[in-house]
């Protein structure tokens, strides 16, 4: 359980920042993606495939991301459902297994890794460079490169994301787009699960750390070292 909570904490702190102005140059839209990835994570062979859907309104100030992925790790396969919502500087992450929603205020964070979801201005602020254009679904989008990541953006909206980090590569590419459309508000509704703040999660994690076995502590140290290497790439 402690490893899962570590993962949730790290993921939430890598979420996007919210500004008071619009994030996209389109009022609303739905983008459907296919996802595929493979490689090694911490020396362990892994692959995944699946689909994702991005829904946004109010120029991206309210946004939902839904994913359905099938992961294969060392021959073991599992299906993962993910639901993330961004609104008013808050990130909501749904844990369908535990039937919980984790909430984090990211409005005051200053993490350069979040810039990919801040649009072009955020990318420029951390040194990303526009390296060309690409046509996806008959839409011309700008290609941005930042270290081992490439983004194809159309009016700030990602139509393709390619990453190749620490021996693992993944591609997420749009297969259908609909812009400036009316979207049912129910599409942005969270499941009826209890909501837990990340502050409470961190408090619980601190208590669990005190009871870790030497093996668990060693695993934790290795994980944090790998995350440090990842952030320095």
Give the whole-angstrom CA distance, residue 9 versus residue 20.
Answer: 25
CB half-sphere exposure, 137, CA atoms < 13 A: 16
- Contact assessment for residue 90 and residue 184, using Cβ atoms and an 8 Å cutoff: no
Residues 31-80 pLDDT 10s: 999 999 988 777 778 888 999 999 999 998 899 999 999 988 888 899 98
Q: Where are the domains of the chain?
A: 2-110+154-231
What residues contact 228, with CB distance under 8 A and at least 6 apart?
Answer: none
145-167 average pLDDT score:
87
Domain 2-110+154-231 CATH (choose: 1.10.10, 2.50.20, 2.40.128, 2.60.40): 2.50.20
Quote the tokens at residue 61.
């100030």
The tokens describing 117, both together, are 């979801």
Angle at 13 between CA 10 and CA 15, to 5 degrees: 115
Per-residue pLDDT, 85:
92
Per-residue pLDDT for 30 more than 60? yes
Report the alpha-carbon distance of residue 5 to residue 1 in Å, rounded. Answer: 6
Q: Rounded to an integer, what distance in angstroms lies between the CA atom of residue 86 and that of residue 110?
A: 16
- Euclidean distance between CA atoms 190 and 82, whole angstroms: 12
Of 118, 116, 117, 160, the C-alpha closest to 139 is 160
119 pLDDT band (50/70/90 cuts)? Answer: low
Mean pLDDT, rounded, for 3-8 = 36
């Amino acid at each position: 359980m402690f490893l899962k909570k570590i993962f949730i904490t790290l993921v939430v702190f890598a979420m996007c920042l919210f500004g008071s102005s619009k994030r996209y140059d389109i009022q609303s839209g739905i983008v459907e993606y296919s996802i595929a990835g493979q490689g090694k994570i911490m020396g362990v062979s892994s692959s995944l495939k699946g689909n994702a859907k991005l829904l946004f309104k109010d120029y991206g100030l309210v946004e939902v991301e839904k994913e359905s992925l099938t992961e294969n790790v060392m021959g073991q396969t599992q299906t993962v459902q993910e639901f993330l919502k961004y609104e008013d500087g808050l990130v909501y992450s749904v844990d369908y297994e535990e039937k919980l929603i984790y909430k984090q205020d990211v409005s005051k964070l200053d993490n350069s890794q979040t810039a990919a979801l801040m649009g072009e201005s955020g990318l420029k602020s951390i040194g990303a460079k526009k390296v060309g254009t690409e046509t996806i679904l008959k839409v011309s989008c700008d290609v941005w490169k930042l270290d081992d990541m490439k983004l194809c953006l159309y009016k700030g909206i990602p139509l393709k994301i390619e990453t190749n980090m620490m021996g693992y590569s993944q591609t997420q590419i749009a297969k259908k787009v609909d812009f400036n459309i009316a979207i049912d508000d129910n599409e942005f509704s969270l499941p009826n699960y209890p909501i837990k703040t990340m502050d409470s999660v961190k408090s619980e994690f601190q208590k669990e750390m005190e009871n870790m076995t030497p093996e668990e502590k060693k695993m934790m140290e290795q994980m944090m070292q790998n995350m440090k290497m990842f952030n320095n790439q």
